[in-house]
Amino acid sequence: MASIKDVAAEAGVSVATVSRVLNDHPSVSADARTRVLAAVQALGYRPNAVARSLRTDQTRTLGLVISDVLNPYFTKLARSVEEAARALGYSVIIGNADERPDLQDHHVRTLLDRRIDGLLVSPTDGGSPGMLDAARGGTPMVFVDRWIAGVDVPVVRADGRAAVRDLVAHLHGLGHRRLAIIAGPAATTTGSERVEAFREAMAEYGIPLPDAYIGQGDFQAESGRRVTEGFLDLAEPPEVVFAADNLMALGALDAIRARGMRVPDDIALAAFDDIPWFVHTDPPITAIAQPTGELGRAAVRALVDRIEGRPPQSVTLPARLVVRRSCGESPVTNRSQS
């Protein structure tokens, strides 16, 4: 493997000149820069990133701690983060918290030990001690998708309230009045916000949301199955089940089918967090779509701004309703169809 001394000898310059070229220092002649870069390419030289980070105090590396790598929403988010970071000259190390605060802290500690330049986090269960300490200690950080009230960290997220209102309007227009929700963890902002948005939208149409129609899930398919079974056992089951994420919706669909029931003939189903699979279910599932790719790109821009000394901005992007066939035949006035 070629060394920096080999590059200097090949280019006919000093080791210091090679170092200045590799660090993009302005005090190098165009001729010397050309010869050094040609030597680097000819010899296949790769600078030592660790040594460079010790000199510059930067690793050009970002950390991303997501809540659940098996959730298609977070998988897509991670991909968009990696692509946006690479375009700006950064690499990304990903940690999966698996909705566990202790595992979230493990990844935060590990990433900080690796001298990352900044951290993107989708907080699990209202946060964790190590992550909060890092945020309050000055680690460049951006919350994405979820956030923690009272913590001074920029937030990049989608606002689903308008889309939830559109969903309730759609359901009301189809004649549905008994609407139930499978909620996410109340300790997460997304879990609590989606229930509140659903309740508020229903109130606009004079529809109550009784406690029996609020089931506590955990953003996992099994909880969607369990909660839906409970709904179906009620003396007066709901006409609609709205799952607050995609995996719980798939669990709900399993529970409905296990009873020999059909969607939407026997019960309607809708979900928050649209995924490609929903187009291929029978029937295709009506869902609220978040601008996941845009969220990932905006989160990276906000974090890099913070790392590079520019004031970061919180970003809120609108979600949208995608009407399919899982709630019944759609009126022509619906917002979006696919």
Domain span(s) for CATH 1.10.260.40 in the chain: 4-47
CA 110/CA 50 separation, integer angstroms: 16
**Whole-number pLDDT of residue 11:** 92
Record: fold of 159-290: Rossmann fold (3.40.50)
Q: Return the CATH superfamily for domain 61-157+292-317.
A: Response regulator (3.40.50.2300)
**Whole-number pLDDT of residue 44:** 82
**Whole-number pLDDT of residue 57:** 59
CATH 1.10.260.40 for the 4-47 domain, yes or no: yes
Tokens of 156: 């990049």
**Exposure of 211 by Cβ count < 10 A (0-12 exposed, 13-18 middle, 19+ buried)?**
exposed
pLDDT tens-place values along the chain, 338 residues long: 678 888 899 999 988 888 888 877 777 899 999 999 899 888 888 765 545 544 445 789 999 999 999 999 999 999 999 999 999 999 999 999 998 999 999 999 999 999 999 999 999 877 788 988 998 888 999 999 999 888 999 999 999 999 999 999 999 999 999 999 999 998 899 999 999 999 999 999 999 999 999 999 999 999 999 999 999 999 999 999 999 999 999 999 999 999 999 999 999 999 999 999 999 999 999 999 999 999 999 999 999 999 999 998 999 999 999 999 999 975 443 444 44
Q: H or E segment at 188?
A: none
Domain span(s) for CATH 3.40.50.2300 in the chain: 61-157+292-317, 159-290
The alpha helices in 142-186, defined as continuous H runs, are 161-173
**Whole-number pLDDT of residue 55:** 46
Q: H or E segment at 193?
A: helix 189-204
Q: How far is CA 52 from CA 20, 28, 90, in A?
A: 12, 19, 14
For residue 253, the Cα-to-chain-centroid distance in whole angstroms is 24
Q: Where are the beta strands (DSSP E) in the chain?
A: 61-66, 91-96, 118-121, 141-144, 155-159, 179-183, 214-216, 240-243, 268-272, 286-289, 315-318, 320-322
